[in-house]
Amino acid sequence: MPKLHGARLMLTLRRWIQTLATFLSNAYWLFPFNRNIYQGNLKSICVPGLNCYSCPAATGACPLGALQNFMASLRPGIKADQHHFGLYVIGFLGLTGSLVGRMPCAWVCPFGFFQELMNKIPSPKFEIPKFATYVKYIFLALFIFILPFLVVDEFGYGITWFCQFVCPAGTLEAGIPMLVLKPELKGLIGLLFYNKLVILIVFLGWMVVSRRPFCRVACPLGAIYSLFNKHSVFRMSHDTEKCTRCQSCYQNCPMGVKIYEGANQHDCIRCLKCMQESCKFDAISYEMDGPDMATGKDRKASL
């Protein structure tokens, strides 16, 4: 009973934090009146989750959009003696990853939250093959770093490839709302927009039948954080002696991670559902910088 109570508490807490983070990332509610995006100083701060900064309500900067812009303007910047390598964004993402790994995906990413809600729609569910979960690293390398830097116009400027050709969050949070707010933009709708609309529709359908497909297959931000999963201060821990491989953790995991095949895998987002809701054998715990902070007995006692 104490564990069940604790599980419900944790789930409620996570939902509240996800909701709060979504509202804080999109707290500019004057946009219906002035028909424009927020342009205040808060936009200089990167948000830890995926949230398009052209969303009319967005109050912060999307780290992926910012990073691509740095890569796209790196060459002309160097020529003009302005050495902006995107260290501000890389430092922010690296610092966050070093502390908690992929935890922001589970707790503060609005698009991750949206996918979890979509997956609650009753439907047959399908698993995503493991090899597909490595595609996000191709998106990260190609669309965030290589193409924006290498494919440039006559002035040396690249484009934000992931934003322009892929990002369904941008279409959902910025493209569609801005077209409603600024009908004059409708004249710009072309093949590019339809391409992004198709990608959005594919992901919307996929979210219903699979667990967090965008996070697992395509999200470059999750790919960056995942590189830190094994070396962050906060890590998951799995006790192979207590584990019975009942697969309860896997069935409950929003990312389809089999923690019994290794703690801190690249898709583990540290939502703690496996520890709090699934495992009946206290085989899963978390650790901070080495020593166990919440192993079976202590965790039960504290809940």
Partner 1 sequence: MNANKKTPFGLIVLFLILLLLGINSGEVAVVLNKATKICLSCMGLG
Which residues, numbered 199-238, are part of the site for partner 1 (CB under 8 A)? 228, 231-233
The region of 131-139, 175-183, 250-258, 273-281 touching partner 1 under the rule CB under 8 A is 175-183
Instruction: Choose, by CB under 8 A, the member of 48, 50, 74, 92 that binds partner 1.
Output: 92
Q: What does the chain come to in residues? A: 303
Q: Please give the angle made by the CA atoms of 221, 227 and 231, to the nearest 5 degrees.
A: 135
Q: Which residue's CB is nearer to partner 1, number 55 or number 105?
A: 55
Q: Which residue's CB is nearer to partner 1, number 6 or number 77?
A: 77
The region of 22-30, 111-119, 126-134, 183-191 touching partner 1 under the rule CB under 8 A is 183-191
Which ranges of the chain would DSSP assign to H, the alpha helix? Answer: 2-25, 31-34, 63-72, 74-79, 87-100, 103-107, 110-118, 135-138, 147-150, 161-165, 168-170, 176-181, 191-209, 213, 220-226, 248-252, 273, 296-302
Residue among 97, 100, 18 at smallest CA distance from 270:
100
66 is an interface residue for partner 1 by CB under 8 A: yes
User: What are the backbone angles phi and psi of residue 179, rounded to the nearest 5°?
Assistant: -65, -30
Task: Give just the sign of the alpha carbon dihedral 7, 8, 13, 19.
Answer: positive
75 is an interface residue for partner 1 by CB under 8 A: no
52 is an interface residue for partner 1 by CB under 8 A: yes
Residue 227 CB, shortest distance to partner 1, in Å, is 10
3-state secondary structure of 119: coil
Instruction: Choose, by CB under 8 A, the member of 24, 76, 149, 164 that binds partner 1.
Output: 164
Residue 116 CB, shortest distance to partner 1, in Å, is 23
Instruction: From residue 111, give the alpha-carbon distance in Å to each of 115, 171, 207.
Output: 6, 12, 11
Q: How many residues bind partner 1 (CB under 8 A)?
A: 62
Q: Which residue's CB is nearer to partner 1, number 178 or number 249?
A: 178
94 is an interface residue for partner 1 by CB under 8 A: yes
Residue type, 130: K
The torsion of the CA quartet 264, 269, 275, 281, rounded to 10 degrees, works out to -40
Q: Which residue's CB is nearer to partner 1, number 161 or number 260?
A: 161
95 is an interface residue for partner 1 by CB under 8 A: yes
The region of 94-102, 122-130, 138-146, 262-270 touching partner 1 under the rule CB under 8 A is 94-102
The region of 96-104, 138-146, 218-226, 264-272 touching partner 1 under the rule CB under 8 A is 96-104
Query: For residues 145 and 183, what is the distance between their CA atoms, to the nearest angstrom?
Result: 33
193 is an interface residue for partner 1 by CB under 8 A: yes
Query: For residues 49 and 60, what is the distance between their CA atoms, to the nearest angstrom?
Result: 10
